[in-house]
């Protein structure tokens, strides 16, 4: 934006054209270069504006890149967030496959039941380590924040009115948050 004064050889065509006229005044070209040497306030503001715009564009581009990178990282995290649970459950899956192979040749049912009970216990242990907890519903007061009432039946005793009489499906909490409501029958 600023014009630089030519500080070359004095014999250059530009310097030879800047001669004073007979009445002692400087030629019009030199007057124009003298005013160009000191930038005007308007030129300063234009320069500052272009620098501010450049800075803004760079900052906006950096933010846009940051936003794209974090969105991609979140998607990757969502895709693999259950990985540790799945890896922990693979031994249980292997146990079920062994149990199914063993059922083909077994004539006595009792060892098969014991094996399946062991697998269930192992599965519950792994899920408990990951923060899953069963809700105990039978005999407790009905709470719509924890229970889903399927039906109500006449209470067997007076103290069972408004309480859970039977449980059709267990409820579960994951890290103190309900992930599945217990489906219960309430005494009326």
pLDDT at 18: 47
- CA pair distance 140, 138, nearest whole angstrom: 6
pLDDT at 38: 77
DSSP annotation of 22 reads T
All domains of the chain in start order, with CATH: 133-188 (2.30.22.10)
pLDDT at 166: 87
pLDDT at 89: 86
pLDDT at 68: 95
Sheet containing strand 182-187, strands side by side: 147-153, 182-187, 164-169
Q: How far is CA 185 from CA 48, 52, 66, 140, 182, in A?
A: 75, 69, 52, 11, 10
How does pLDDT run across 47-70, given as a tens digit for each residue? 999 999 999 999 999 999 999 999
DSSP annotation of 131 reads T
pLDDT < 70 regions, the chain: 1-37
- CA pair distance 154, 100, nearest whole angstrom: 43
DSSP annotation of 156 reads S
pLDDT at 69: 95
How do beta strands 147-153 and 182-187 pair?
A: parallel
Supply the pTM of this predicted model. Answer: 0.53
């Amino acid at each position: 934006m600023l014009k630089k004064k030519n500080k070359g050889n004095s014999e250059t065509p530009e310097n030879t054209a800047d001669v004073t006229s007979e009445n002692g005044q400087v030629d019009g070209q030199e007057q124009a270069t003298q005013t160009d040497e000191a930038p005007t306030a308007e030129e300063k503001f234009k320069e500052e504006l272009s620098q501010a715009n450049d800075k803004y564009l760079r900052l906006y581009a950096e933010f846009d890149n940051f936003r794209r990178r974090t969105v991609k990282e979140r998607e990757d995290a969502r895709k693999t967030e259950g990985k540790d649970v799945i890896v922990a459950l693979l031994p249980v899956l292997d146990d079920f496959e062994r149990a199914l192979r063993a059922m083909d040749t077994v004539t006595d049912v009792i060892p098969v039941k014991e094996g399946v009970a062991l697998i269930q216990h192992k599965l519950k242990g792994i899920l408990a380590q990951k923060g899953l907890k069963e809700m105990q519903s039978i005999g407790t007061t009905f709470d719509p924040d924890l229970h889903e009432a399927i039906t109500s039946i006449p209470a067997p005793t007076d103290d069972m009115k408004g309480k859970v009489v039977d449980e059709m499906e267990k409820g579960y909490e994951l890290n103190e948050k309900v992930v599945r409501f217990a489906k219960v029958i309430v005494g009326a």
